[in-house]
Structure 1
């Protein structure tokens, strides 16, 4: 029994719950499933989830069996109101629209290998897009967070207020970045501390094809060189398709170099991947 239990992802201990504290509004009650990535933005398939700390360079089949879900990656951490009104609805619809347009343009880009351009772009409603992405970041974690009454924190409080409708909540506290993410694996990491060249910054991540999205502390961000800042008054989303950025597509899980260090709670950093890949 001991050897068998070690072959199953620890994620199994962080998924089962019926009632708890909603990770956005903080109210106690019945919890509902939030799909991460949101439905409509990707093709929903059977997936397995693991903690990122159980993976080896994002390679599946390393001896730890993931927790299966027949219809995409789900997290039971939000109340019905926050799930449907603040995270989903028109906000998720905007993510789906942008991802479908980006996917189409990416296919066209690679069908023209001699193209002199290294950037593709689509129109975006930045507030709707970012509100949904940040909502899913807050939701995609361990249910152990729902079992205790939430405490006030300077990093997460503004994110919650923004998701709940305060358009100006992040002005003085956070920045957002995005870049091309050419992978079928989905990554959600709620709280990463990354150290690089003397700078320590907290960040949160949601990566799924075709975009990696990162939230970080204002004026402290550590991000890939080819990333673009996502401003809430943006009307166009522009992605750098240069092959020089590909080694950094999985940032901050691309491998540490020099004096870089990373600190995280494995239960709040999850990778999911289509079964069989």
Structure 2
């Protein structure tokens, strides 16, 4: 019973410890903010409507880019794996490297120069920057499936497509989801620079605070970005646990 109790305690801490810690940090942040005497510039930024609007923009950009990465990178990884050609795999990974090897600011500004500014440019920049982790983890996860398991599935009469969907993808899902989890956290951080091309988000607060030397604005923006990153990582971890095949 002691071991079971300890296991339940660890599970409870994993499920509720992170959001509780984030709530405590945010509560301390806003208590501290309430104790300050804000000037007119700070009051225009540090109010509920502005904070909610910027946070919504940041979340929409992050979630949309991560969804597109999942829709594009996972099928690309599966296709490269099915081809079983080293040249094709090197080409696909090379394309992913192009986005991530370039600094995030460079990707955003370059696309804004050659195309336009705004939300969709920032979205494409994030997709390009976060494409590689999911692509690479998809390939790695599929390649790590035990060959004997594949042979056993084929021996039972499964077609290659059935082996992929019923055996390989479920067994590779923890590694694939780990890559998607990394992309989500990347997106939260990189989305802050979307402000440079008029795409909104919490980066507006941080940049405006730096320009105007309003440190409460900088602190609030930075803490909100960190809180979103931590909560998204926590939620992605719960999803990993839920979809993980039993016994892994």
TM-score, reference length from structure 2: 0.31
Which of the pair has more CA radius of gyration? 2
TM-score, reference length from structure 1: 0.28
- Normalized per residue, the structure richer in strand is 1
